[in-house]
Amino acid sequence: MKKRIIIDGVIGTGRESLQEMLCEEYGLSKGTYITFSKGMSHSFYDKELDLTNIVTVGSFIGDPLYSKLTETDCLLTEEDINLLVNKAKDNKYIIIICLTTEDKRVKGVNKVVDKNINEINSYFKLMVKKHDLMLYDPFNESIVDLLKKLDRKFEEE
């Protein structure tokens, strides 16, 4: 069975580093870093779900919150996120949300995140619960523990 993983979460939590480790561990090709822009259709995302085994997502689940905090146009609605999460799950992807505490996260990567970390953490925790996603705190959980959780999830599929 193909191992398919999407990594999302708080900026500064090591999503790309996690991607590198998982690619190495599972022998996967590095996937695409997806960000959404005006006019981008869901068909692009659907195509990526069919092509890659691991994807690091820049603004997917967090797009409505980050748009609100930066006072920019929101590209994805809550309905869009629900559709994309369900599409990913239908395609047997495991979605990992990287989340950590303010004092351990890499600061200075994004000032908006630095200023609003508590609200951002709360939002992602809510999304993890709402969509039954996997939560990973790279600063408080070992990669070995994450791999064990992933292996159990892959066996369930």
- Domains of the chain from N-terminus onward: 4-156 (3.40.50.300)
108-113 mean pLDDT: 83
Which amino acid appears at position 1 of this protein?
A: M
CA distances from 34 to 52, 60, 63, 146, 147 (A): 11, 8, 12, 23, 23
The tokens 């997806």 sit on which residue? 34
pLDDT, tens digit (0-9, with 9 covering 90-100), for 118-135: 899 999 999 999 999 999
93-121 mean pLDDT: 84
Q: What is the pLDDT of residue 136?
A: 94
CA angle, 104 then 106 then 109, to 5°: 150
Which H or E run includes 94?
Answer: strand 93-98
